[in-house]
Structure 1
Amino acid sequence: MSWWGKLAGGVFGFMLGGPLGALLGSVLGHNFDKGLAGLEKDSMGGSRAEQERIQSAFFTATFSVMGHLAKADGRVSPEEISQAKAIMAQMDLPPDMRRAAIELFNQGKRHDFPLDEVLQQFRRECRRRTTLIQMFLEIQIQAAWADGRMDTAEEQMLLHICRQLGIPEFLFRQLERMIRAQQAGGHGGNHQGSQGTTSGTPSLKDAYTMLGITRDASDAEVKKAYRRLMSQHHPDKLVAKGLPEEMMKVATRKTREIRKAYEAIKQARGF
């Protein structure tokens, strides 16, 4: 039985406490807020109970923080709500999980949402799983750019999130550029590189940005960047680290976009 099946069915092989447990418990009607006793004693051995707790923490933090980010400018517009639902649809969540995600999004909009406490617990739960934390940030950036722009309030909140999670600003800027290029290339946008673009195919300019490199990169550097990004976003590896199985489509989409960018560069360079 998956972590979600256990929660929905009231069969708990793990316990998520703290603010994340309180948020998830309020959504599901369970009393999870038992504190974090014993959390620091767990080993990094990757027990099933530990993985399930991380999966529930990732799910809870992702959608509640997304709701808080949507209200960064003081109000949540109908367009932002539609964008959040579209992201949930892209993840292809089952109906009951989608309802929970929407409720967590609404919890995040509350004026008393404990952002820093949520982020601090999420970081503790993930510990040294940096690729998982980076995936969380990528989803938040994607949500901020869903309407094609990022306002100052959203940018400042994302930078605050990075500081809480120990992510340097240069990495945030790099991820932001990559995600903008992915959205432009993935939707057949109007961005034009040296070879233009067709629907679903990134321009050459966007392809380089999506891999986090410049046109001056050597063939070896292109291949290294591609392998690194594919490893970071490999769905099975991320699930093993704590990405909920039901959210694997996020990683699958990422790897598909990375592969398209690499193929565009390969074709242009002829290797």
Structure 2
Amino acid sequence: MLWPGTLIGAGAGFAIASIPGAMLGALLGQALDRRLNLQSWGHLREKLGGRPMLRNDELLFVLLGRLAKCDGRVLGGHIQQARAEMRSLEMSESAQRRAIAAFNRGKSGRDRLRSYLRRLGAQPHAAEGVLRACWRMIWADGRAGGNELELISQWGKWLGWDAWQVQALARDYEPQKRPLGNSTATYQDALRLLGVSATSEPAQIKNAYRRLLSRHHPDKIAGSGATAMQVREATDKTRELHNAYTLIRERRDFR
């Protein structure tokens, strides 16, 4: 692997003193790469611009922030989903502050993410977890926009995933294709699922939804050593909760 400092040093050395200069320049550049932990041209640009390198947990929330913003406006559902991810990861207060800062950083769309994702691709389990979190964020507002689909497709490619593999994960989080309708029975079922009533305040409904979502989050279940069947059941439960909350929110007309 040829790192940026090594290449720059070799090129500058060759221009000054031909092959011996290139060899010396490459050694000096390699020492600079190691000292500054430069692993790509993107890292070098970030160092020169003064932007801090991203940790893996920060990278996740940068991605989520970019997805939330890419179709125009960050909605309440996006914020709720980001908070749900923090709860599922059982983040400390300081880690949550970093995650919020990373989410806001992601909204700017300024970070070059290819090198980060290519490096993360060497960790298959972590890469899958990131893609699953991205799909949850995409479906947080009940729909998948064109810009969101384009981003996750590109990110999957950088992670080393085929397009069909990325798309296959979407089925675990896509809201069920059923009409929300005006059926009283369906509406009552949604209220019962969240443990609220038709007269509950929006804040109570939101809190009930978040609490249940955190309890049944598939990543939290998977982290406790559950079987594949239990994870699937948790995924189905999460989808039911999302559909119920969407139905109630639309019927009651609140965000």
TM-score of the two chains, using structure 1 as the length reference: 0.48
Can you list the C-alpha shifts for 1:163-194, whole angstroms capped at 9, x where unaligned?
A: 2222111111211112337x99xxxxxxxxxx
Residue in 2 aligned with 1:139?
A: 133
Quote how far apart the aligned CAs of 1:70 are: 0.8
Residue in 1 aligned with 2:230?
A: 259
Percent identity of paired positions between Structure 1 and Structure 2: 23
Residue in 2 aligned with 1:63?
A: 61
Aligned amino acid, residue 93 of structure 1: M
Unpaired runs of 5+ in structure 1? 1-13, 34-55, 185-197, 201-247, 264-271
SS of residue paired to 1:76: coil
**Change in CA separation of 1:154 and 1:22 when aligned onto 2, cut-off 3 Å:** same
Aligned amino acid, residue 103 of structure 1: A
SS of residue paired to 2:174: helix
**Change in CA separation of 1:250 and 1:160 when aligned onto 2, cut-off 3 Å:** farther
Aligned amino acid, residue 123 of structure 2: R
Quote how far apart the aligned CAs of 1:79 are: 3.4
Q: What is the Cα-based RMSD across aligned positions, in Å?
A: 4.2
Distance 1:251 1:21 in 2: 37
Can you list the C-alpha shifts for 1:190-218, whole angstroms capped at 9, x where unaligned?
A: xxxxxxxx969xxxxxxxxxxxxxxxxxx
Which of 71, 74, 97 is equivalent to 1:73?
71
Unpaired runs of 5+ in structure 2? 1-34, 178-191, 195-218, 235-255
Aligned amino acid, residue 122 of structure 1: L
Can you list the C-alpha shifts for 1:117-172, whole angstroms capped at 9, x where unaligned?
A: 32323322x35322221111111111111233222221122112112222111111
SS of residue paired to 2:91: coil
Runs of 4+ in structure 1 off by over 6 angstroms are 20-23
Bigger radius of gyration, 1 or 2? 2
Quote how far apart the aligned CAs of 1:77 are: 2.5
Aligned amino acid, residue 121 of structure 1: Y
Distance 2:135 2:225 in 1: 13
**Change in CA separation of 1:79 and 1:135 when aligned onto 2, cut-off 3 Å:** closer
SS of residue paired to 2:171: helix
Can you list the C-alpha shifts for 1:202-244, whole angstroms capped at 9, x where unaligned?
A: xxxxxxxxxxxxxxxxxxxxxxxxxxxxxxxxxxxxxxxxxxx
Distance 2:52 2:38 in 1: 6
TM-score of the two chains, using structure 2 as the length reference: 0.50
Distance 1:91 1:140 in 2: 15
Residue in 1 aligned with 2:98?
A: 100
- Does residue 158 in structure 1 map to residue 129 in structure 2? no
